[in-house]
Chains A and B, each alone.
Chain A
């Protein structure tokens, strides 16, 4: 017996043998990175491994995920598209501008992006939003997973340019990419402070929680622009 529970718009918990985080497959029959497909009453669900996705972990850590069916998303740090594919599932009537800096990752990502019409791939440095300002429209959500030492700054620059007034920022901070030697707790405190004062307006932090046990030394942050 398969049971389906709605966790957030477009995000499900499918129980078949065991509980599994899933999204509705926008590209039926196709597997992106070796995940399982579960068909229930004509709908096909794609399982989502929280250990391979910071966003997936955030869902299970009870973050309020602001993604809606028609959201416009700016995704910074798309890598080879594991998480982007699920975002693309969730915002089935929206769009995902996906920025990735490494040509090698982009090579793997192109196949996925060409099959899903709501993904717009951009090969650029997320730290230089000006280089894709001629492409990206204002968005509802910025998701950032870039593992760079100046993450807060990158988020701020992109938010100033692209985030709508009532938009949200979802961010994953990797302690190891900021300082390998210092204690993660201290780093997280610093980074949250940086976000709050990152630019003139600053972010208002709604939720900040570590992503254990799915990701070690990672902090998930949900924020919005200060009113």
Chain B
């Protein structure tokens, strides 16, 4: 019987004793690479309960337990290092980008609100907020610097706002600049996600749009996991709270999770949204699978989806009539 081990190929006689061996050179890197390929091949496995260490000493690979263990320590360490460095796949980069985008959104919102409050004391009539206010403050600072050709000139002249001292102006200006640069980063990340989604998952991007597609991948953890999800899961991704409330107690099931942001759903009348969400989720899961396993563009998907949605809308032109009071019999309460 031939068996593969991390230190060499061994041959066992019919009595289970070692009869021949071909040992690998004691090179950590090479042993690690071999160990990786053995991990995937899973052929000629040692029999259950086989004592690798004793065999290694018997066949002369190691002189002692401590030598065996210290080499094994280095080899396993090198192996996992190789594996970890291979783990950063393109979809993982998208996941990171999506999470960075969420962080940036949160920060920019609270910072630009702060700027609005702060600068509002000096020029409350500006009517600006968000990015336009940040750009404005970064450009002019005090309202006294607004040139006559600017549409806000008159308002600035007659403003009831306080006078902006030089020190405060400097502070506000640089604060506004930081906010501006965050807005720029946001655009940059969005552009990055759009272009990488186009190559990583063309079908998912075509159906869901780059941002929704990227979010689905991000919540699933990877494109592989998303492709493995049933479409009923994709339909409610992001509606965790509602879903678990439904599973544990007598709450209605959620109709849609983050796919609600898809225009097909949020522009549909409310009584078909559940149906549309189901149809969309079905196609999204198909798209994710095509993307993960073949990465080829499948042009028929979009048409099929549109056709399906059209049928749903045609079949349900009016909101359903309120049903007679026939309460469903109470479900058995499971927990809490």
Q: Once the chains bind, are A123 and B83 in contact (CB under 8 Å)?
A: yes
Residue of B nearest to A72 (CB): B53
Q: Once the chains bind, are B72 and A181 in contact (CB under 8 Å)?
A: no
Q: Known interface pairs A121-B76, A122-B76. Does A134 touch B84 (Cβ–Cβ under 8 Å)? A: no
Residue of B nearest to A181 (CB): B247
Across the interface, which residues of B come within 8 angstroms of A132, CB to CB?
39
Q: How far is the CB of B85 from chain A (nearest CB, A)?
A: 9
Q: Once the chains bind, are B69 and A95 in contact (CB under 8 Å)?
A: yes
Q: Once the chains bind, are A123 and B42 in contact (CB under 8 Å)?
A: no
Could you tell me which residues of chain A, from 124 to 148, have a CB within 8 Å of some CB in chain B?
124, 128, 130-138
CA distance A118 to B65 in the complex (A): 12
Q: Once the chains bind, are A138 and B51 in contact (CB under 8 Å)?
A: yes
Q: How far is the CB of A23 from chain B (nearest CB, A)?
A: 20
Q: Once the chains bind, are A130 and B73 in contact (CB under 8 Å)?
A: no
Q: Once the chains bind, are A135 and B6 in contact (CB under 8 Å)?
A: yes
CA distance A122 to B75 in the complex (A): 10
Q: Once the chains bind, are A181 and B84 in contact (CB under 8 Å)?
A: no
Q: Once the chains bind, are A137 and B84 in contact (CB under 8 Å)?
A: no
Q: How far is the CB of B237 from chain A (nearest CB, A)?
A: 16
Q: Is A206 an interface residue (CB 8 A)?
A: no
CA distance A106 to B81 in the complex (A): 9
Across the interface, which residues of B come within 8 angstroms of A117, CB to CB?
69-70, 73
Q: Once the chains bind, are B80 and A160 in contact (CB under 8 Å)?
A: no
Query: Which of B5, B48, B80 is A134 in contact with, Cβ under 8 Å?
Result: B5
Q: Once the chains bind, are A103 and B6 in contact (CB under 8 Å)?
A: no
Q: How far is the CB of A107 from chain B (nearest CB, A)?
A: 5
Q: Is B271 an interface residue (CB 8 A)?
A: no
Q: Is B49 an interface residue (CB 8 A)?
A: yes
Q: How large is the interface on A (under 10, 10 to 19, 20 to 34, 35 or more residues)?
A: 35 or more
CA distance A103 to B69 in the complex (A): 24
Q: Is A161 an interface residue (CB 8 A)?
A: yes
Across the interface, which residues of A come within 8 angstroms of B72, CB to CB?
120, 135
Q: Once the chains bind, are A131 and B334 in contact (CB under 8 Å)?
A: no
Q: Is B192 an interface residue (CB 8 A)?
A: no
How does the 8 Å CB contact mask read for B231-273 relative to A, with 1 for contact and 0 for none?
0000000000000100110000000000000000000000000
Q: Is B191 an interface residue (CB 8 A)?
A: no
Across the interface, which residues of B come within 8 angstroms of A160, CB to CB?
48
What number of A-B contacts does a CB cutoff of 8 Å give?
A: 86
Could you tell me which residues of chain B, from 43 to 66, have a CB within 8 Å of some CB in chain A?
45-46, 48-53
CA distance A118 to B335 in the complex (A): 45
Q: How far is the CB of B65 from chain A (nearest CB, A)?
A: 10
CA distance A113 to B77 in the complex (A): 7
Q: Once the chains bind, are A181 and B335 in contact (CB under 8 Å)?
A: yes
Across the interface, which residues of A come within 8 angstroms of B84, CB to CB?
103, 106-107, 110, 123
Residue of A nearest to B7 (CB): A134
Q: Once the chains bind, are A135 and B80 in contact (CB under 8 Å)?
A: no
Q: Once the chains bind, are A134 and B76 in contact (CB under 8 Å)?
A: no
Q: Known interface pairs A122-B76, A124-B39. Does A183 touch B49 (Cβ–Cβ under 8 Å)? A: no
Q: Once the chains bind, are A130 and B42 in contact (CB under 8 Å)?
A: yes
Residue of B nearest to A163 (CB): B49
Q: Known interface pairs A132-B39, A135-B35. Does A110 touch B247 (Cβ–Cβ under 8 Å)? A: no
Q: How far is the CB of A134 from chain B (nearest CB, A)?
A: 5
Q: Once the chains bind, are A106 and B70 in contact (CB under 8 Å)?
A: no
Across the interface, which residues of B come within 8 angstroms of A95, CB to CB?
69
Q: Is A177 an interface residue (CB 8 A)?
A: no
Q: Is A39 an interface residue (CB 8 A)?
A: no
Q: Is B40 an interface residue (CB 8 A)?
A: yes
Q: Is A164 an interface residue (CB 8 A)?
A: yes
Q: Once the chains bind, are A131 and B39 in contact (CB under 8 Å)?
A: yes
CA distance A106 to B79 in the complex (A): 11
CA distance A188 to B38 in the complex (A): 36
Residue of A nearest to B45 (CB): A133
Q: Once the chains bind, are A123 and B247 in contact (CB under 8 Å)?
A: no
Across the interface, which residues of B come within 8 angstroms of A138, CB to CB?
49-51
B residues in contact (CB < 8 Å) with A: 4-6, 35, 38-40, 42, 45-46, 48-53, 69-70, 72-73, 76-77, 79-81, 83-84, 87, 244, 247-248, 334-335
A residues in contact (CB < 8 Å) with B: 95, 103-104, 106-107, 109-110, 113-114, 117-124, 128, 130-138, 160-162, 164, 180-183
10 cross-chain CB contacts under 8 A? A104-B87, A106-B83, A117-B70, A120-B73, A128-B42, A133-B46, A137-B52, A180-B244, A181-B244, A181-B335
